[in-house]
Amino acid sequence: MTNKTSRRNFLKMGAASASVLPFLRAMPAAAQGSDTLVVVTGTTINSLDLHRSGTSRASYQVGINCYDRLLSFGTKQTPDGGYSYDYQVIEPELAESWTESEDGLTLTFRLKPNAKFWDGRKVTAADVKWSFDRAVSVGGFPTVQMKAGGLERPEQFIAVDDETFVIKLDRASKLTIPDLAVPVPYIMNSVEALANATEDDPWATEYLHNTPAGSGAYKVARWTPGEQLVYERNDEWVGGPLPALRRVVIREVPSPATRRALVERGDVQVAFDIPDKDAAELADTLDVFSTPVENCIHCLNPNFAFEPFQDSNVRKAIAYAIPYEDIFQAAAYGRGLPMWGGEEEINDIAWPRKTQYFTDLDKARELMAASAYPDGFDVPLSISLDLASWMEPTALLVQEALGQIGINVTIEKIPGANWRTAVLVEKRLPLHLENFGGWLNTPDYYFFWAYQDGHLFNSSNYRNEEIEELTNATLHMPMDDPEYAPKIKRMFEIVLDELPRIPLYQPALNVAMNGAVGYEFWFHRQLDVRPIKTV
């Protein structure tokens, strides 16, 4: 047989081994299940290379399923009986073991000696170095994410010998190790990539965009952007337990109604990221996992650049006027976690935490009367059309409630393409809805992005000197440091009193399954197909 994968060869290969996916209906229907999984999703995979600029969020799953990182996170059970990754447990993936120097500035990794790329070549420390160099050099998102773990320059990465890789840090940080387990720092086959690099494109972005070159659990068998992606298992994988499924088909179906019909009928086994409404309705008949997204909160943000919102009484009045329960039911259909009606006293450092606010219109009116704006004012509430499914009902309920305390709200709908510019870059929206979620699950990391002055998700133009100082102090501090908890508690106290972001609820990622088990929630909100099995 020739090496060229023509359609006929592919079919022949299929016919040769009975366990391969039956490609024609003529094959017995019973053979269809067991080792093939079909997933539907509403989003488009537009690149097989996460490091490329313009790569969509949905494409990150290729980085997860097809590539290995040095490290990965462990698994834990969630309260609803599903599984989630475990931020507290770091497990090896390509690394066999690792050590940290006394001062925490040198990390030494031993690679698994038997790890091989798909083309059969051994994974060496030089590949790791090349991949890390690439992530910190290509610019854009990967470079920003690497920086979060203190990984900024190629000189920091040293390939000592084939199986020893060293990272030199400028300062010790608790974020470095977890940042090595996020999707970004994955290991590519540098020999294959370099053979396809050009002078203009030294990092082979064009080649890797279409052709992954990794050592991960799955290879990409077929990819048609806008239609489907087919994973095929790499039987030589050493990064973890061999996945049960030989083949996984990711099919793009834009209409949520169609996705729902498909999974209800059982023609597909997984509907990934379904709307809250479908999740609530399907929960009785199918296995629906609604995992609250870690370190992510849907918020109503009063912008400090807008004068009335500089008045603390106004912000508190809004926090007491919001109909939290109604919003949670209308926008989220009760999927996720409430973020209101908690204790005012802060005894733990769990984040997101419930605020001390709850719906109390009388209190809200009192606070308005005590403010500099007893007669209220007019303000536009901005929402993104791309996120209308939760923002629109929320905005309507907020509009109605604020109308009762004299704040006249008009709803401004902003097209998706404009949204990021207006809300995050220019930070010019007086009152808006926002939903930042941090990948690294520590409160300080959330504060770094959402509460520090000038940072991207601080769309309220909030600045508090104490928060600046405390966030800088806690960001790299180990969580078991005795100073850590008191500082974090103080940070909670300040922002929940000053309210530059008014937390509404913690959203959930919904996944419906019919005929498959083993789904695991990940902070990156993409499907890790490796642990999934059909039943």
CB of 108 to another protein, least distance (A): 28
| Strand ranges in 334-427 using DSSP code E only, listed in sequence order | 337-338, 377-384, 407-414
Q: Which residues of 305-319 are buried (b: 16+ CB within 10 A; e: fewer)?
A: ebebbebebbbbbbb
**With the C-alpha atoms ordered 251, 255, 256, 262, is the resulting torsion angle positive or negative?**
negative
Least gap, CB of 75 to another protein (angstroms): 25
Query: Nearest approach, Cβ of 390 to another protein (angstroms)?
Result: 17
Listed in sequence order, the residues at least 6 apart from 433 whose beta carbon sits closer than 8 Å to its beta carbon are 298, 299, 300, 301, 381, 382, 383, 384, 387, 390, 391, 394, 395
Nearer to another protein, 108 or 418 (CB): 418
Number of Cβ within a 10 Å radius of residue 480: 8
Q: How many CA atoms lie within 13 A of 171 on its CB side?
A: 11
Residue 221 is which amino acid? A
Exposed, middle or buried: residue 479 (CB in 10 Å: 0-12, 13-18, 19+)?
Answer: middle
- For residue 147, CA distances in Å to 4, 98, 151, 170, 445 come to 41, 21, 5, 11, 12
- Quick one: 447 or 484, whose CB is closer to another protein? 447
Minimum distance, C-beta of residue 106 to another protein, in the bound complex (Å): 27
Per-residue tokens: 118: 């798909």
User: Smallest distance from the beta carbon of 242 to another protein, in angstroms?
Assistant: 23
Could you list the residues that contact another protein (CB under 8 A)?
Answer: 7, 10-11, 21-26, 32, 38, 40, 44, 46-47, 52-57, 59, 139-141, 143-145, 209, 224-228, 230, 249, 251-255, 257-258, 261-262, 264-265, 267-268, 386, 415-418, 420-421, 424-425, 449, 456
Q: Which is nearer to another protein, 225 or 342 (CB)?
A: 225
Minimum gap (Å) between residue 256 Cβ and another protein = 10
End-to-end C-alpha distance for the chain, whole angstroms: 35
CB of 48 to another protein, least distance (A): 8
Using the 8-state DSSP alphabet, how is residue 335 labeled? -
Q: In terms of Cα–Cα distance, which of 109, 107, 128 is closest to 117? A: 128
Number of other CB atoms surrounding residue 112 within 10 Å: 20
CB of 258 to another protein, least distance (A): 5
H helices, E strands: number in the chain: 17, 22
- CB closer to another protein out of 23 and 74: 23
Of 84, 162, 136, nearest to 509 by C-alpha is 84
The nearest distance, CB 7 to another protein, in angstroms, is 5
The torsion region of residue 443 among left (phi > 0), alpha (psi -120 to 50) and beta comes to alpha
Cα four-point dihedral sign 169, 172, 173, 177: positive
The nearer residue to another protein, 76 or 247, going by C-beta atoms, is 247
Q: Which is nearer to another protein, 124 or 459 (CB)?
A: 459
Burial 60-81 (b: 16+ CB within 10 A, else e): bbbbbbbbbbbbbbeeeeeeee
Contact (CB, 8 A) for 208 and 48: yes
Amino acid letter at 139? G
Which one, 127 or 278, has the nearer CB to another protein? 278
Taking the complex as a whole, the smallest distance from the CB of residue 224 to another protein amounts, in Å, to: 8
User: Rounded to an integer, what distance in angstroms lies between the CA atom of residue 235 and that of residue 240?
Assistant: 11
Nearer to another protein, 42 or 393 (CB): 42
Q: How far is the CB of 139 from another protein (least distance, A)?
A: 4
Q: Which is nearer to another protein, 81 or 454 (CB)?
A: 454
Tell me how far, at minimum, the Cβ of 403 lies from another protein, in Å: 28
CB nearer another protein, residue 238 or residue 414 = 414
* 7/345 with CB nearer another protein: 7
**Which CB sits closer to another protein, 158 or 456?**
456
